[in-house]
Structure 1
Amino acid sequence: METYQSVAVLIPCYNEALTIGKVVDDFMAALPGATVYVYDNNSTDGTAAIALEHGARVKRESRQGKGNVVRQMLRDIDAEYYLLVDGDDTYPAEAAPLLIDPLANDEADTVVGDRISNGTYGEENTRAFHGFGNNLVRGLVNLLYGFRYNDIMTGYRSFNRVFAKTLPVLSTGFQIETEISIHAADKRWRIKQVPIEYRDRPAGSVSKLNTFSDGVRVLGMIFSLFKDYKPLGFFSLLAVISMAVGLVLGIPVVIEFAETGLVERMPTAIMAVAFCGLGALLLVCGLILDTVVKGHRRDWELRVTEEYAKQRR
């Protein structure tokens, strides 16, 4: 792809005045003809004005949080290919064609800019526990959703129009990267991972991430989507735990009854029955919700087919 008129570069921003001008210039140079959109999320440092001066199309999004910004971007902007990147100058613009070309060549529906494989994220990222958190989230998502991601939480990724227009964004904040990764794996989109060079923020630029609070939100998002996307597995796990507790409580009571003919620990016996009953109920809930989710998945597949049909017209 020699020119990139069909590409929309999406840059959600909150107080990135130090870097946004360079980021806009770099991506315009790396993707000739592409349109660069900067959505300002209540910045107080002149980010929007700087982006406008450098030739970006600028819009304000008043609902705070990256997830809210990305949701509105995908609703507002119509393009054939989308490149999502942060405005903090940590992702190399020269790698942008590597993320777009697999989409244009119909080799992938979404491309992930992988910071982990070549080791640059570990070298450049000096924030405590961020590497540990990334590894924890990646391990959980890979285990629960069956796709071997190298980098779950990268902010550098691309997707085609059908992927963008059928992506349900539920997140409000920095959970958006995890949500997109889970959606792509769960819905069996064609995913390609491209190693990129990562660089830490320049001096004076401050991260908006909070390691612990945002980490808790990301973990909550993982388990919430696990419940929504794979209810049989989620509720079966809870059922097994509940049944195990019931058996641990109940077996001594049964043994005691077999030896003496008496149930002397009646409260324990009642709790054992209650936990076993709860386990059975959880399993039934999982079976019912699994049927509902399969129906929703069929409806979603039909919607994707309709989007592809509209694109071919």
Structure 2
Amino acid sequence: MRFSKPSIAVILPAYNEELTIGQVIRDFHAALPDAVICVVDNNSSDRTSVVAAATFEDLGCAGRLIHEKRQGKGNALRRAFFDVDADIYLMADADQTYPASRAADMIAPVARGEADMVVGDRHSGGHYGDHNKRRFHGFGNDLVKSMINFFFRSSLQDIMSGYRAFSRTFVKTYPIMVAGFQVETDMTLHALDKRFRVMEIPVEYVDRPAGSFSKLNTLADGAKVIFAIFQILRYYKPLAFFGTVSVVLMMSGFVAGIPVLADWFTYQYIYHVPLAVLAAALEIVAVIFFSVALMLDSIVHQHKMSYELMIVSIANKT
């Protein structure tokens, strides 16, 4: 299904959001009356689908209700990106935490061809810090942001924002490999690695309304995000990842070999035989890891070249 150009699709992943989904649909329809509102019911056990369908009918707007049984925000977005065809995509949570009034500002850089992904930055204005009551969640955000900015030499402020606008090229060439809430981090890493144009726009953020509860678990979801980062580094930055492991092993082997070298230079005999074996083994493994790093880095480079050619091919067809 292809809408008249320039077509806009608002993607709203929803899991047990019957209290808020109706108002969120109304707000985004008011902000973008020509957009198609797509609610992805991610296996909700409440009346999310019923409320969404009733709201579409009441507004008389172009709306789609998509069902995704596989649990997780990543799965919901994967289904939406596969099923929905548009020129510009706007993603937001269905819990009234992101302002629909900023929707036009979010999609404008994509419409002008200035960005492939626009991120609603909750941190620059201090709104997220004012409303976020979970200290460890904020700490996790800062940790992830620091790691990504360090490894990718970027200066992004909000890595995990769920308010984003995308170009068609980004959506149709982005392989969603994660299932849960770490998908925003995965999007950011993919965009940075594949040299997509990323822009951040400060937006207001408010906490959920009374009676609505977050599905996030600070420790569990934080651990998933950290694990996802290491997975991405392993796949996209193998030289840095395996090279770091190689250096650690090499230094460990050197430390283990200090008593061995001291024996040899002092007595011309090795008394610390176990340490000598350990040091030699660590150095051998370090060389192996460094060799793996070089080989994988070459493979990743070839993959990036193929990806660039694919994007050029897709751009020429649109």
The TM-score by the shorter chain falls in which range? Answer: over 0.9
CA distance in 1, matches of 2:54, 2:66: 13
- State the partner residue of 1:87: 94
Deviations 1:47-73 (A, max 9, x none): 011111111310110000001111111
Aligned 1:109-120 pairs, distance under 5 A: 109-120=116-127
1:98 aligns with 2:99: no
Which runs of 5 or more residues in structure 1 are unaligned? none
1:235 aligns with 2:242: yes
- State the partner residue of 2:22: 21
Residue type at the aligned position of 2:186: E
- State the partner residue of 1:44: 45
CA distance in 2, matches of 1:85, 1:175: 15
State the 1:4 CA deviation: 8.5
- State the partner residue of 1:8: 9
Which runs of 5 or more residues in structure 2 are unaligned? 57-62
Q: 1:206 aligns with which of 190, 203, 213?
A: 213
CA distance in 1, matches of 2:29, 2:154: 33
CA distance in 1, matches of 2:31, 2:103: 7
Checking the alignment, whether the CA contact within 8 Å between 2:13 and 2:40 is kept in structure 1 is yes
Q: 1:295 aligns with which of 293, 302, 315?
A: 302
Residue type at the aligned position of 1:159: F
- State the partner residue of 2:275: 268
Q: 2:114 aligns with which of 107, 110, 113?
A: 107
Deviations 1:243-287 (A, max 9, x none): 000000012201211110111111110000000111110000000
Q: 2:81 aligns with which of 48, 62, 74?
A: 74
Checking the alignment, whether the CA contact within 8 Å between 1:162 and 1:308 is kept in structure 2 is yes
- RMSD over aligned CA atoms reads 1.1
State the 1:307 CA deviation: 1.1
- State the partner residue of 2:152: 145
- State the partner residue of 2:33: 32
State the 1:9 CA deviation: 0.3
TM-score by length of 1: 0.97
State the 1:128 CA deviation: 3.4
CA distance in 2, matches of 1:257, 1:5: 76
Checking the alignment, whether the CA contact within 8 Å between 2:5 and 2:87 is kept in structure 1 is no
Percent identity (aligned): 46
How many pairs align?
309
- Which moved further from structure 2: 200-209 or 4-13? 4-13
TM-score by length of 2: 0.95
State the 1:224 CA deviation: 0.5
1:58 aligns with 2:45: no
The structure 1 segments of at least 4 consecutive aligned residues displaced by more than 4 Å after TM superposition are: none
- State the partner residue of 1:226: 233
